Amino acid sequence: MRTVNAQSLQRSPYLGTNGFPLQSAAVYGPIHSRRYGYSLGINPLPVSYKFCDFDCVYCQYGWTPRQPGEQQTREKIRPADELLSEIDHSFQIALSNKTPVDVITIAGNGEPTLHPQFSRLVDGLLDLRDRYFPKVRLGILSDSSQCYRLEIRQALAKLDDRSMKLDAGDWETVQKVNRPLANFDWTRTLRSLEALKDITLQTLFVQGSCDNTSPRQIESWIEAVRLVRPKSVQVYTVDRPPADAGIRPVSVSQLRTIAEQCEAATHIPTEWFE
């Protein structure tokens, strides 16, 4: 298979604290998965460190730098127009290489809605998608932390697909699994997710040094799913090196049981992925 360009093939010299490489360009992949097919990734964030307002125990990019001094470089977030010009170039190459693209997914080295010009970026990406891959859906993977902001909800609404994180139904578990940084309000996040239309809730279940799978935790998570009323739910577990080496994946049979429980209680289609 031919990838987007030479840069996206390069293994990043920058690694997360778990040794897993960061994404090295504004466009990466495509990455193949059973869930999405061939997904071309968009990284609007720095390439030399993870930029996120969560610090999930299972993060494939390792622990989140909490102070500027903990970042590997002083790289700044790039303006939307500069990113769009690089993305335009990469899309041209992907098209001429006949790179297989089933979906385009905004994600990257952290939380994409933290980009200060996120709305501008979404508008530009929609134009580029229409020009180069008009039949391909444009979606996002988000940690849900910024959807309380009206301008972020409006930008998210323009995308074809919104996959929003909800790893627990109680604040105590969210603190343990997602370890949010400053300015995170759990109740506000739940209400904001409820206000978003046609979202897919994504939940990652873990065991080991941190666990969100007890009967009480599953019960409160199902209550939260019922409140948010997404169009679908996806549950899955770790398949890459986690930030916390004590984290273990949940068994396939338990994932399936959780998905069946959720669907039976909420009547919302719930898929599970290994």
Binding region for ligand SF4 (CB under 6 A): 52, 54-56, 59, 61, 64, 110-111, 143
Residue 16 near residue 46, CB atoms below 8 Å: no
Contact partners, residue 224, CB within 8 Å, separation at least 6: 166, 168, 169, 190
Q: How far is the CB of 204 from ligand SF4 (least distance, A)?
A: 8
How does DSSP assign 110-177, residue by residue?
Answer: B-GGGSTTHHHHHHHHHHHHHHH-TTSEEEEEE-STTTTSHHHHHHHHHSSEEEEE---SSHHHHHHH
Q: Looking at beta carbons only, is 46 or 99 nearer to ligand SF4? A: 46
Nearer to ligand SF4, 65 or 269 (CB): 65
Helix (H) or strand (E) holding 220: helix 215-228
C-beta of 236: minimal distance to ligand SF4 in Å?
12
* Shortest reach from residue 93's CB to ligand SF4, in Å: 26
The end-to-end CA distance of the chain, in Å, is 24
128 vs 199, which CB is nearer to ligand SF4?
199
Euclidean distance between CA atoms 186 and 184, whole angstroms? 6
Structure tokens belonging to residue 204: 């990652």
* Closer CB to ligand SF4, 45 or 94, in the complex: 45
**Cα distance between residue 82 and residue 79, in whole Å:** 5
| Amino acid occupying residue 171 | W
Shortest spacing between CB 265 and ligand SF4, in angstroms: 26
> 59 or 255: whose CB is closer to ligand SF4?
59
CA pair distance 126, 160, nearest whole angstrom: 10
Provide, rounded to whole angstroms, the least separation between the CB of residue 18 and ligand SF4: 11
Q: How far is the CB of 51 from ligand SF4 (least distance, A)?
A: 9
Nearer Cβ to ligand SF4, position 94 or 106? 106
